Amino acid sequence: MDALLNGQGASFFSDLVDRSGLLRSQVEGALAELVASGTVTADSFTGLRALLTPSSKRPPLTDSKRRRSTASYSIDDAGRWTRLWQPSSSAADSQGPNETKRAHTALEALARVLLRRYGVVFRRVLKLEELPPWRELLGVYRRLEARGEIRGGRFVAGFSGEQFALPEAVGLLRSVRRRPAMGTLVSISAADPLNLTGIVTPGSRVSPVPANRILYADGQPVAFREAGEVRFLSETPSARQWEFRNALIRGSIPPRLRAYLGQPA
């Protein structure tokens, strides 16, 4: 079954039965072993439920009335079964156990650095980073979540895929959402990793050049300076335009960061 999925790619359960020439129960047992070993997955959780539910307790496919009134755990409804990516055995053998362990340690350290940098990590946030494939980081984040060190869930609306966050970041997100608008201005260099314009926030991308700057008001980008020209991202009164320009030129720094840098408040 493993070789069949490798050769044919993602396949429906009925296709696996036809191509393998095995009984449905045999194909089901083979999939259960591959899922347990972490080498095969399905499009939905229905397949996992079917593998965990004894066949005697599943609704019969021919009883349409009962099927409508009972949750369907049919393995035929699981969608496609897919072989998960695995490092090639030759590469693993050439590295050896010590090299593989060091590679895993380095990958976990990188995953933690990204969490400390952004607070919340998902695929879209790391779009411009030169990193290993997302699937490798995803495995690390899933292990950290299983160990209770980080949180998994949906923290930033409007983006698909799995998201992971530091426990303290979740609390900060909730407090910011409940906090009334204060008009606080923060200016950062466009070369800062927090320059997520056009990635997380709407609007065009601001070139990550150190001389360019982005201005945030209560966490929302409101203006930026690029190639010496200041542009506003929405309708802005004249008085506020002057304030925004002044903040972009001076580079307003939050009080906590001023204290860290040893500058007067």
**In this structure, what CATH number is given to the domain that contains residue 138?**
1.10.10
* Together in a domain, 98 and 79: no
pLDDT of residue 3: 75
| Residue where a domain stops, chosen among 143, 175, 207 | 175
Question: Which residue range(s) make up the domain with 56?
Answer: 2-83
* Together in a domain, 95 and 171: yes
Count up the domains in the chain and report the number.
3
79-116 in b/e form (b: 16+ CB < 10 A) is ebbebeeeeeeeeeeeeeeeeeeeeeeebbebbbebbe
pLDDT of residue 186: 86
- Is pLDDT of 251 > 70? no
pLDDT of residue 144: 93
pLDDT of residue 64: 47
* Together in a domain, 109 and 130: yes
The dihedral formed by the CA atoms of 17, 20, 21 and 23, expressed in degrees to the nearest 10: -50
**27 burial class (0-12, 13-18, 19+ CB within 10 angstroms)?**
buried
* Together in a domain, 238 and 255: yes
- Is pLDDT of 193 > 70? yes
* Together in a domain, 196 and 233: yes
For residues 150 and 210, the model is more confident at 150
Report pLDDT digits (tens) over 9-33: 788 888 888 888 888 888 888 888 8
Report pLDDT digits (tens) over 53-107: 766 665 555 444 444 444 456 777 778 888 876 554 444 445 566 777 888 889 9
pLDDT of residue 113: 93
* Together in a domain, 17 and 62: yes
* Together in a domain, 154 and 188: no
* Together in a domain, 169 and 186: no
Q: Are 115 and 94 in contact (CB under 8 A)?
A: no
* Together in a domain, 101 and 57: no
pLDDT of residue 96: 60
Q: In sequence order, what are the beta bridge partners of 221?
A: 216
| Residue where a domain stops, chosen among 138, 154, 175 | 175
Percentage of residues in the chain with pLDDT exceeding 70? 81
* Together in a domain, 188 and 159: no
pLDDT of residue 54: 66
The pTM of the full predicted model, rounded to 2 decimals, is: 0.53
- Is pLDDT of 150 > 60? yes
Q: Are 24 and 17 in contact (CB under 8 A)?
A: yes
C-beta atoms surrounding 174 within 10 Å: 11
Report pLDDT digits (tens) over 197-233: 888 887 788 888 888 999 888 878 888 988 888 888 8
- Is pLDDT of 34 > 80? yes
For residues 44 and 161, the model is more confident at 161
* Together in a domain, 58 and 111: no
| Residue where a domain stops, chosen among 40, 59, 83 | 83
Q: In sequence order, what are the beta bridge partners of 187?
A: 215
* Together in a domain, 164 and 192: no
In one-letter notation, the amino acid at residue 261 is L
